[in-house]
């Protein structure tokens, strides 16, 4: 039986900024292609830092990290980031915003148009290409932001609390849509969230982190088969798992100074 | 309602003209020259039309050149200043000095350096317009949304791409704040410059120069006409800036109401 090579591979990784305190301590975490990994834990425990390390924006202090078999700086082309804020350029239309990353990469205009249309329809915003961000709702802006990330055809998608600022209804819808998109696109996801329900619904692995210094407290796997739908949330097994993850999370947060 | 509103300034204008006449006629006959009647000022416009017209054009030209030069130089300086807090710390005090120095006192010096005439007028306008432009544009360039800068960093954008596609467009609203101030100052700068540096050689005198001539000649109605010409010039400058600002910002910027989009 042969395992596929890991797409993200942290071995005994630690991180401190300058002379500051240890932010990440002895992190060993391996993601296989197609994993949907949620990172959950008290704020300040280093969840965003983990994403920054994968993206190569931040460099490990000790240990090793391979992304798609390469040093993270060399794998930048393989990944895309979705932030908590939609981070759209307000002076560009939705269409131009989606083309931004391709424009920065100097890809050909015809190619850009093709990809723009494809990702716009993935996030079900066809027809809104000519709008400006201020004309969109919060959920629509987030969809544009996701479409922009997808325009790079990433192998790894890093999402840092992307739905944290949205109301619960919108969040649920976007969760379902994100999974629907994933049925068509085989990226690996690292998803930072504060919502246990969201983590259980989306992921096949939930990594619960503890703070001071940031480390993995426990990993819980989620075995509900994909595709998951709104119905999945109502099953007793789902509720049970949510309760279990919440309990672990609470125990981690209680040890905070 | 809204057409009513538009009539209001006309109404206040008429009342104002009425008061003007009343004050004029309340003065003794010897004093009446101090406040010429509005129709006398209109008459002066037609009598002095050619002279005032060319003076206004000359001032407009000086104001425009100084204004344009200030835009180009201040944007370049703002780009430099936005590069690092160290550069700002070392240069800001001198920018402040430039702002605090009364340009009127500098005028005679400038004239000695560059001679009376168009060039001096342009330089004085430039000096007056430069400060609000450079300060506001720099502020705009350094207050780019942190999240957007992260996005560009994440996408491995080049420095050039970051400036052209992110920093400059996001500084636009700030630039226009400076531009509106500069637009009100430009005609004033050109007129002040012309008061000192204007000369009539080849019909190049502007409104400032005409002011000196008319006051020497005690032509009160013509002086008032000159003031109105300067005022009109100011409206043209500010109006052009407001129109351009609307053109470039109204679709996306929050300062324009959501309902118009
Ligand atoms: N650039 C940085 N320089 C110094 N400290 C940082 C930097 N970025 C984050 N930190 C620190 O690292 C810790 C973890 O931050 P972060 O990864 O953002 O946590 P989380 O996303 O889990 O809330 C925090 O204590 C934060 O203050
Ligand atoms: Mg964070």
**Res B88: pLDDT:** 93
**Res A186: pLDDT:** 86
Residue A127 inside a domain? The answer is no
Residue B27 inside a domain? The answer is no
Interface list for B 122-161 with A (CB within 8 A): 145, 147-148, 150-157, 161
Residue A237 inside a domain? The answer is yes
Residue B206 is inside which H or E element, if any? none
Do residues A196 and A233 lie in contact, with contact meaning Cβ atoms separated by under 8 Å? no
Residue A110 inside a domain? The answer is no
Q: Strand A205-210 relative to strand A215-221: parallel, antiparallel, unpaired?
A: antiparallel
CB-closest option in B154, B161, B169 to A57:
B154
Find out whether the beta carbon of A130 lies less than 6 Å from any atom of ligand 1.
no
The stretch B2-20 carries a mean pLDDT of 91
Q: Tell whether the model's pLDDT for residue B261 goes beyond 50.
A: no
Domain count within chain B: 1
Ligand 1 test: best mutation among A49, A54, A207, A213, most atoms within 8 Å of CB?
A49
Nearest chain B residue (CA) to A85: B147
Diameter of chain A by CA atoms? 55
Question: Residue A172 and residue A253: Cα distance in Å, rounded?
Answer: 25
Residue A61 inside a domain? The answer is yes
Residue-number span of the structural domain to which B185 is assigned? 36-260
Q: What residues of A are in contact with residue B170 (Cβ under 8 Å)?
A: 89, 91
**Res B158: pLDDT:** 95
CB-closest option in B150, B169, B251 to A132:
B251
Question: Residue B179 and residue B230: Cα distance in Å, rounded?
Answer: 19
Q: What is the pTM of this model?
A: 0.87
Contact: B150, A89; criterion CB under 8 Å: no
3-state secondary structure of A145: helix
Question: Residue B48 and residue B33: Cα distance in Å, rounded?
Answer: 18
Q: What residues of B are in contact with residue A100 (Cβ under 8 Å)?
A: 155, 165
User: What would the two tokens of residue B236 be?
Assistant: 């043209």
**Res A163: pLDDT:** 95
CATH number, domain containing residue A204 = 3.40.50.300
**Res A133: pLDDT:** 96
Question: Residue A221 and residue A207: Cα distance in Å, rounded?
Answer: 9
Question: Residue B128 and residue B182: Cα distance in Å, rounded?
Answer: 8
Distance A145 CA to ligand 2 centre (A): 18
Question: Residue A25 and residue A15: Cα distance in Å, rounded?
Answer: 7
A76, A87, A137, best to mutate vs chain B, most B CBs in 10 Å = A87
Instruction: Please give the radius of gyration of chain B, using alpha carbons only, rounded to the nearest integer.
Output: 23
User: What would the two tokens of residue B211 be?
Assistant: 């002011």
**Res B200: pLDDT:** 57
Residue A138 inside a domain? The answer is no
The stretch B154-175 carries a mean pLDDT of 95
Find out whether the beta carbon of A45 lies less than 6 Å from any atom of ligand 1.
yes
Task: For B182-236, write each residue's pLDDT tens digit.
Answer: 999 999 999 998 888 766 555 578 999 999 999 999 999 999 999 999 999 999 9
**Res B260: pLDDT:** 45
Q: How confident is the model at residue B259 (pLDDT cuts 50, 70, 90)?
A: low
Residue A63 inside a domain? The answer is yes
User: What would the two tokens of residue A204 be?
Assistant: 């096949």
Adjacent-strand bridge partners of A220: A206
- The residue with greater pLDDT, B93 or B259, is B93
Beta strands in A142-246 (DSSP E): 156-160, 188-192, 205-210, 215-221
Domain count within chain A: 1
**Would you call A57 an interface residue with chain B, using a CB distance cutoff of 8 Å?**
yes
Q: Flag residues of chain A having pLDDT under 70.
A: 1-2, 255-257
**Res A255: pLDDT:** 63
CATH number, domain containing residue B188 = 1.10.3720.10
Interface list for B 72-131 with A (CB within 8 A): none
Find out whether the beta carbon of A42 lies less than 6 Å from any atom of ligand 1.
no
Residue-number span of the structural domain to which A249 is assigned? 8-84+162-253
Task: For B48-59, write each residue's pLDDT tens digit.
Answer: 999 999 999 999
Task: For B130-164, write each residue's pLDDT tens digit.
Answer: 999 999 999 999 999 999 999 999 888 999 999 99
Return the residue whose CA atom lies nearest to atom 26 of ligand 1.
A44
Residue A43 inside a domain? The answer is yes
Residue A147 inside a domain? The answer is no
């Amino acid at each position: 039986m042969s395992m596929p090579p890991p797409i993200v591979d942290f071995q005994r990784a630690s991180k401190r900024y300058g002379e500051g305190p240890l932010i990440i301590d002895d992190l060993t975490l391996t993601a296989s292609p197609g994993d949907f990994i949620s990172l959950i834990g008290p704020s300040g425990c280093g969840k965003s830092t983990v994403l920054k390390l994968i993206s190569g924006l931040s460099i490990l202090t000790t240990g090793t990290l391979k992304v798609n078999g390469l040093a993270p700086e060399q794998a930048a082309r393989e990944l895309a980031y979705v932030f908590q804020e939609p981070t759209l350029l307000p002076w560009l239309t939705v269409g131009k915003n989606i083309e931004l990353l391709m424009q920065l990469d100097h890809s050909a205009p015809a190619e850009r148009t093709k990809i723009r249309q494809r990702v716009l329809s993935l996030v079900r915003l066809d027809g809104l290409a000519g709008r400006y961000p201020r004309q969109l709702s919060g959920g629509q802006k987030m969809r544009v932001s996701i479409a922009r990330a997808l325009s790079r055809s990433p192998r790894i998608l890093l999402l840092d609390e992307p739905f944290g600022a949205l109301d619960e209804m919108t969040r649920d819808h976007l969760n379902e849509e994100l999974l629907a998109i994933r049925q068509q696109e085989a990226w690996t996801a690292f998803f930072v969230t504060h919502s246990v329900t969201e983590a259980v619904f989306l992921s096949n692995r939930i990594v619960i982190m503890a703070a001071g210094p940031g480390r993995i407290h426990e990993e819980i796997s989620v075995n509900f088969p994909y595709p998951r739908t709104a119905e999945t949330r109502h099953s007793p097994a789902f509720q049970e798992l949510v309760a279990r993850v919440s309990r672990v999370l609470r125990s981690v947060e209680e040890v905070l100074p | 309602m809204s057409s009513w509103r538009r009539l209001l300034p006309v109404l206040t204008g008429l009342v104002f003209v009425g008061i003007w006449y009343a004050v004029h006629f309340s003065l003794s006959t010897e004093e009446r020259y101090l406040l010429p009647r509005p129709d006398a000022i209109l008459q002066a416009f037609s009598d002095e039309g050619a002279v005032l017209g060319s003076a206004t054009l000359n001032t407009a030209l000086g104001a425009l050149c100084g204004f344009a030069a200030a835009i180009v130089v201040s944007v370049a300086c703002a780009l430099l200043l936005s590069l690092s807090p160290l550069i700002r710390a070392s240069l800001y005090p001198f920018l402040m000095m430039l702002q605090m120095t009364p340009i009127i006192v500098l005028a005679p010096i400038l004239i000695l350096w560059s001679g009376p005439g168009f060039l001096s007028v342009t330089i004085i306008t430039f000096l007056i317009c430069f400060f609000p432009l450079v300060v506001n544009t720099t502020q705009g360039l350094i207050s780019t949304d942190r999240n957007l800068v992260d996005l560009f960093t994440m996408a491995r954008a080049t420095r050039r791409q970051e400036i052209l596609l992110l920093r400059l467009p996001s500084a636009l609203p700030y630039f226009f704040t400076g531009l509106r101030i500069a637009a009100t100052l430009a005609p004033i700068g050109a007129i002040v410059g012309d008061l000192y540096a204007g000369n009539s050689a080849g019909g190049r005198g502007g409104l400032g120069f005409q002011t000196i001539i008319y006051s020497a000649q005690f032509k009160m109605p013509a002086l008032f006409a000159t003031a109105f010409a300067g005022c009109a010039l100011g409206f043209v400058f500010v109006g052009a800036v407001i129109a351009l600002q609307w053109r470039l910002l109204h679709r996306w910027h929050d300062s324009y109401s959501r309902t118009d989009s």
